[in-house]
Amino acid sequence: MLKIVDLEVGNIGSVIKVIKHLGVDFELITQPEQLIGASKIILPGVGSFTAAAKKIHESGFIQALNEYVITKKVPILGICVGMQLLAKAGEEGGQSKGLGFINATVKRINSFDGSLIIPHMGWNDIDTNELPIFNNIDNRSCFYFVHSYAMNIAEHEKLNVAYTNYGENVVAYVNSEHIHGAQFHPEKSQQVGIQFLRNFIELC
């Protein structure tokens, strides 16, 4: 069964609404032991990396997610801060440890001396790079973003990456085998976002 992790650090009602629209059986979970029986995992999040990282460490989810994602190879999709938590660390509010599933750190977006508004908020197109999770989605389709920090992938990492441009290339999607992250909010991206979530559920 699909499990949606509720870290209680943001409103995940929109994610649940889309999953219900897709007709997928799921369970909203708040405790790590509820991951039992997971066939796929969605890790949503909004707000501060620091607050989300603290919650994931203190709740015991970090050990449980390591067991299911790393050992049992259960597919996971991190959304927004949920994607950022897949990285090794984040710099928001001081250095905090993430899950470490992706060799990356999360750093503040370059404002180019104030010429760009931070947070990056609104609709931006993505170079989907013909990645399978974007099947039936036109390249350069627009998705909805709200974030001040972005993933910086370590050099020489062999990952599947799709970018949006906000003054410079910003990681919009990252994938390593069964591990997926979306910096954008598919649940708020209308039809292309619904298709993206459908692809994760059906293809991954």
Residue in 21, 80, 147, 156 annotated catalytic: 80
Q: Is 177 a catalytic residue?
A: no
- Cite the beta strand spans of the chain per DSSP E: 2-5, 26-29, 40-43, 76-79, 87-90, 96-97, 102-108, 120-125, 142-147, 149-153, 160-165, 169-176, 179-182
The whole-angstrom separation of Cα 76 and Cα 68 is 9
Residues 6+ apart with CB under 8 A from 47: 9, 10, 81
Residue in 21, 67, 187, 204 annotated catalytic: 187
Length of the chain: 204
Q: Which residue has the tokens 């909004």?
A: 46
Q: Is 80 a catalytic residue?
A: yes
Per-residue CA distances from 18 to 101, 158, 185 (Å): 26, 31, 11
The whole-angstrom separation of Cα 157 and Cα 144 is 26
Residue in 120, 147, 180, 185 annotated catalytic: 185
Residues with active-site annotation: 80, 185, 187
